[in-house]
Amino acid sequence: MKRAIIIGASSGMGLEISKLLLADGWHIGAAARRRDRLEQLKAIDPSKVDIEMIDVTSDDAPLKTKGLIDRMGGINLFVYVSGIGHQNRKLDIHVERDTLKTNALGFTQMIDTAFNYMANNCGGQIAVISSIAGTKGLGAAPSYSATKAFQNKYIQSLEQLANMRHLHIHFTDIRPGFVDTDLLNDGNRYPLLMKKEKVAKEIVNAIYDKKHVWVIDWRWRVITFFWQLIPNIVWRRMNI
């Protein structure tokens, strides 16, 4: 069975991942907030694409996700791409609140829906596109860093929970650096900006290889390795 749901499939990395899986023979369930974008994706191969409008922060998001799974006849791969993030040096509370609502609350209820389905249906794989920002607190984006760290730890906890319950659920935490998506189209400059098409290919390969944690790309693997070694007394004085 090659059936996958991609949450956040209408643009950016989610769209590119969806296209790659389609080309590789997967039946996909594409979920996002924008129906017009979803319809464009479905037009690529209508027989292999089911779509559903889902806002991950809505109370009905888990129910809609379950409905999509049922329409597809089940899934064995769940890819979570949705998320928001902004630089917020002035600490605008609305930005912080919206980020927490999407990247923490929305993330949790969607991942739990996938986990509970797989727990009752012979397992599967859950892949989360988190971020290198979760590996260290970044002053320019406090809520984004914090919620990505939350995602990293949540997936690690669920992996342990699956083992405790003897469930055949595999988890892949994928941590890209900066990618040229609409999320970063905010007028700010970002170092080592990567093309979304290239990143999507590496994401799909990491899923196929069943990596537990994978940082994209090699330059960010080096950077994040060393910046985690920087003592807090030094880190908190850095302009990042």
Q: How confident is the model at residue 191, as a pLDDT?
A: 62
Tell me the mean pLDDT in the region 160-187: 85
Distance, C-alpha 87 to centroid of its chain? 19
Number of H helices, E strands in the chain: 9, 7
Model pLDDT for residues 35-50, shown as the tens digit of each residue: 999 999 999 999 999 9
Q: How confident is the model at residue 11, as a pLDDT?
A: 87
Buried-state track 94-114, b at ≥16 Cβ within 10 A, e below 16: ebbeebbbbbbebbebbbebb
Which fold would CATH assign to domain 3-235?
A: Rossmann fold (3.40.50)
pLDDT-based confidence at 185, cuts 50/70/90? low
Q: How confident is the model at residue 238, as a pLDDT?
A: 85
Domain ranges within the chain, ordered by starting residue: 3-235
210 vs 139: CA distance, rounded Å: 32
Terminal C-alpha separation, the chain: 44
Q: How confident is the model at residue 182, as a pLDDT?
A: 61
208 vs 229: CA distance, rounded Å: 30
Percent of the chain with pLDDT over 70: 95
Asked whether the predicted pLDDT for residue 16 surpasses 80, the reply is yes
pLDDT-based confidence at 204, cuts 50/70/90? very high
Does the pTM of the predicted model rise above 0.85?
Answer: yes
Q: How confident is the model at residue 178, as a pLDDT?
A: 75
Q: How confident is the model at residue 183, as a pLDDT?
A: 61
Model pLDDT for residues 55-105, shown as the tens digit of each residue: 999 999 999 999 999 999 999 999 999 998 888 999 999 999 999 999 999
Q: How confident is the model at residue 68, as a pLDDT?
A: 97
Map tokens 């790659």 to a residue: 20
Asked whether the predicted pLDDT for residue 193 surpasses 80, the reply is no
Q: How confident is the model at residue 187, as a pLDDT?
A: 58
Q: What is the CA radius of gyration of the chain?
A: 17
Helix ranges (DSSP H) in the chain: 12-23, 35-42, 61-72, 93-100, 107-119, 142-164, 196-208, 218-227, 232-235
